Structure 1
Amino acid sequence: MASHVLFRGSSFKESKNTRSSGAAGLRFRCVNALKISYKTMTGNYPNLLRVTKNERLRLGLAPVIAKHGLHELDIFSDSALIHLLETHPRDQLQAFTMGTDWENRHEWQPVDTAGASGVDLFNAVSKGHLWFNIFRVHLFHSPFRDLLNRLFSELTEANPDFHCFNQTGTLIVSSPKALVYYHADAQPNLLWHVRGSKRVWVYPAEDAELIDQELMEDIFASYIDEEVPYRREFDEKAIVFDLNPGEVISWPQNSPHRIRNVGGLNVSFSTIYETEPSSRRKLTYCANRLLRRTYHLPARSTKETGISARLKCLTYRGFRKLGLVPVPPRRAYITRLRINPEAAGGFEPIDDGPVLTEFSKKEFVLKKDRWGRLAAVAQAKPR
Structure 2
Amino acid sequence: MNAPARFTDALPATVFDGPARTRFAAHYPETPHILTHSLTSHPLLEIEALAALAERLPLASVEYNRGDLPIGVDGKPGSNGMTIAETIRRVAEAESWAVLKNIEQVPAYEALLMSLLEEIRPEIEAATGAMLTPQGFIFVSSPNSVTPYHFDPEHNILLQIRGSKVMTQFPAGDTRFVPDEAHETYHSGGPRELMWDDAMLPHGTEFALAPGEALFVPVMAPHFVRNGPAPSVSLSITWRSEWSYRESDARIFNAILRERGFRPSAPGRWPQQNYAKAYAFRALRKLGLTGS
Cα offset, 1:266, TM superposition: 1.1
> For residues 42 and 132 of structure 1, what CA distance do their matches in structure 2 show?
27
**What are the superposed Cα offsets for residues 59-91 of structure 1, whole Å, 9 maximum, x if unpaired?**
442110101122232221233223323433334
> For residues 215 and 117 of structure 2, what CA distance do their matches in structure 1 show?
15
**What are the superposed Cα offsets for residues 202-225 of structure 1, whole Å, 9 maximum, x if unpaired?**
111121111111111111222x21
Q: Show the counterpart of 2:59.
A: 90
Unpaired segments of 5 or more residues in structure 1?
Answer: 1-33, 328-383
Q: Show the counterpart of 2:288.
A: 323
How many residues of Structure 1 are paired with residues of Structure 2 in the alignment? 286
> For residues 45 and 273 of structure 2, what CA distance do their matches in structure 1 show?
48
> For residues 307 and 46 of structure 1, what CA distance do their matches in structure 2 show?
37
Q: Does 1:126 align with 2:92?
A: yes
SS at structure 2 position matched to 1:210: coil
> For residues 6 and 94 of structure 2, what CA distance do their matches in structure 1 show?
38
| Equivalent residues of 2:87, 2:94 under 8 A apart | no
Cα offset, 1:121, TM superposition: 3.3
**What are the superposed Cα offsets for residues 348-372 of structure 1, whole Å, 9 maximum, x if unpaired?**
xxxxxxxxxxxxxxxxxxxxxxxxx
Unpaired segments of 5 or more residues in structure 2?
Answer: none
Q: Does 1:248 align with 2:214?
A: yes
Q: Of the candidates 231, 239, 242, which is equivalent to residue 273 of structure 1? A: 239
Q: Show the counterpart of 1:194.
A: 161
> For residues 106 and 324 of structure 1, what CA distance do their matches in structure 2 show?
28
Q: Of the candidates 173, 177, 184, which is equivalent to residue 151 of structure 2? A: 184
| Equivalent residues of 2:37, 2:213 under 8 A apart | yes
Cα offset, 1:148, TM superposition: 1.0
SS at structure 2 position matched to 1:69: coil
SS at structure 1 position matched to 2:186: helix
* Distance 1:246-1:105 versus aligned 2 partners, 3 A rule: farther
SS at structure 2 position matched to 1:326: coil
| Equivalent residues of 1:103, 1:229 under 8 A apart | yes
Which letter does structure 1 place at the counterpart of 2:276? L
Q: Show the counterpart of 2:249.
A: 283
Q: Of the candidates 192, 198, 201, which is equivalent to residue 226 of structure 1? A: 192
Q: Show the counterpart of 2:172.
A: 205
Q: Does 1:66 align with 2:67?
A: no
* Distance 1:96-1:143 versus aligned 2 partners, 3 A rule: same
Which letter does structure 2 place at the counterpart of 1:264? A
Q: Does 1:172 align with 2:139?
A: yes
SS at structure 2 position matched to 1:273: strand
> For residues 309 and 101 of structure 1, what CA distance do their matches in structure 2 show?
35
Cα offset, 1:301, TM superposition: 4.1
Cα offset, 1:250, TM superposition: 1.2
> For residues 107 and 152 of structure 1, what CA distance do their matches in structure 2 show?
30
| Equivalent residues of 1:60, 1:190 under 8 A apart | no
Give the number of the structure whose alpha-carbon radius of gyration is greater: 1
Q: Does 1:310 align with 2:279?
A: no
Q: Show the counterpart of 1:161.
A: 126
**What are the superposed Cα offsets for residues 30-77 of structure 1, whole Å, 9 maximum, x if unpaired?**
xxxx9x9x9994635211113152333314421101011222322212
Cα offset, 1:112, TM superposition: 5.7
Going by fraction, where is helix more abundant, 1 or 2? 2
> For residues 42 and 81 of structure 2, what CA distance do their matches in structure 1 show?
30
Cα offset, 1:304, TM superposition: 6.6
Structure 1 runs (4+) deviating above 6 angstroms are 304-308
When structure 1 is superposed on structure 2, of 101-110 and 260-269 the one drifting more is 101-110
SS at structure 2 position matched to 1:72: coil
SS at structure 1 position matched to 2:245: helix
Cα offset, 1:105, TM superposition: 4.7
Q: Show the counterpart of 1:352.
A: none
> For residues 88 and 305 of structure 1, what CA distance do their matches in structure 2 show?
34
- Identity, % of aligned positions: 21
Which letter does structure 1 place at the counterpart of 2:109? F
TM-score, length basis structure 2: 0.86
> For residues 220 and 57 of structure 1, what CA distance do their matches in structure 2 show?
29
> For residues 231 and 149 of structure 1, what CA distance do their matches in structure 2 show?
38
SS at structure 2 position matched to 1:263: coil
**What are the superposed Cα offsets for residues 297-328 of structure 1, whole Å, 9 maximum, x if unpaired?**
4533424799995332222111111211123x
When structure 1 is superposed on structure 2, of 76-85 and 298-307 the one drifting more is 298-307
Which letter does structure 2 place at the counterpart of 1:312? K
Q: Does 1:43 align with 2:10?
A: yes
TM-score, length basis structure 1: 0.67
Which letter does structure 2 place at the counterpart of 1:236? P
> For residues 165 and 77 of structure 2, what CA distance do their matches in structure 1 show?
18
Q: Does 1:215 align with 2:167?
A: no
When structure 1 is superposed on structure 2, of 40-49 and 176-185 the one drifting more is 40-49
Q: Show the counterpart of 1:299.
A: 264
SS at structure 2 position matched to 1:126: coil
